[in-house]
Amino acid sequence: MHIMEGYLPVGHCVAWAAVATPPFAAGVRRIKRHLEEHPETKLLLGAAGAFAFVLSALKMPSVTGSCSHPTGMALGAILFGPAPMTVLGGIVLLFQALLLAHGGLTTLGANLVSMGVVGPWVSWWLYRGGRKLGTSMGIAVFVAAMLGDLATYVTTSFQLAFAYPDPVSGMGGSVLKFLGVFAVTQVPLAISEGLLTVLVINLLLENSKPELRALNFISEEVSDATA
């Protein structure tokens, strides 16, 4: 989902940076307030960021004969809400842009919108919606993580298509071309991200009940006996 350095026109870079700035600022405020209210969840927030660090470093082969990577944004979005993930996603993207020449500074805004804004919000809404409809936690987490990951790559495809409409078939044709590159490749990886997010949530449910309760992820009534 990384649009490479210098691959978006200047105007688009500026516009996407402008779009990404308010959610980033809101995320910073959100994290500050959250840590004041629940200082005991600081390390868990770090772990959610670290999960994104691992997953976005894993370039995995896919059925299209090319490689891509998950984003790891859903775990934190489900636990802490989507706003803080914009900040954590920004840190991951900056690390990769500066040290790995992966993504870029000029495309940071666009990449932050797809990975740090659209993905986490989609995951959060799907998780909330799924739980309200009575879906089990495992299924809700899986669907939220899988489709949040996919939504990020679909967003990237649209961002590139906006910038480079096909001379013959227009923007629609261009969207299909970029979806062919990103979205199809991403399907098995999105499933992997769903499975890994469920795995980590399972592990957290075993030993991190006090923090999950502070986050209102599990209700107060759940007994402490097994925690």
Partner 1 sequence: MQRRNLWLMVGVVALAVLPLAIHLPGTRTDFGGSDDQAGEMVEKLRPGYQPWFHALWKPPSDEVESLLFAVQAAIGAGFVCYWLGWSRGRTDGRKGREDAGA
CB 99 within 8 A of CB 72: no
Q: Is residue 220 part of the contact set for partner 1 (CB under 8 A)?
A: no
Residue indicated by tokens 């998780």: 127
Binders of partner 1 among 145-164, rule CB under 8 A? 156, 160, 163-164
Output 19 or 50, the one with its CB closest to partner 1.
50
| Minimum distance from residue 49 beta carbon to partner 1 (Å) | 8
Site for partner 1 in 14-73 (CB under 8 A): 43-44, 46-47, 49-68, 72
Give the residue from 146, 118, 119 showing the smallest Cα distance to 130.
146
The binder of partner 1 chosen from 19, 81, 166, 176 (CB under 8 A): 166
149, 72 in Cβ contact below 8 A? no
Task: Choose the stretch contacting partner 1; rule: CB under 8 A; options: 5-13, 19-27, 79-87, 116-124.
Answer: 5-13
116 to 145, contacts with partner 1 by CB under 8 A? none
Instruction: Identify which of residues 126 and 145 has a Cβ nearer to partner 1 in the complex.
Output: 145
Among 128, 177, 213, 218, indicate the residue that binds partner 1 (CB under 8 A).
177
List Cβ neighbours of 211 (8 Å cut-off, separation of 6 or more): 40, 41, 44, 204
Report in angstroms how near the CB of residue 149 gets to partner 1 at its nearest: 13
Nearer to partner 1 (CB atom), residue 25 or residue 199:
199
Query: Contact at 8 Å (CB) between 88 and 48?
Result: yes
b or e along 146-163 (b: 16 or more beta carbons within 10 Å of the residue's beta carbon)?
bbbbbbbbbbbbbbbbbb
Token duo for residue 15 = 């516009």
**CA 1 distance to own-chain centroid:** 11
Does 223 engage in binding with partner 1 (CB under 8 A)?
Answer: no
Nearer to partner 1, 87 or 198 (CB): 198
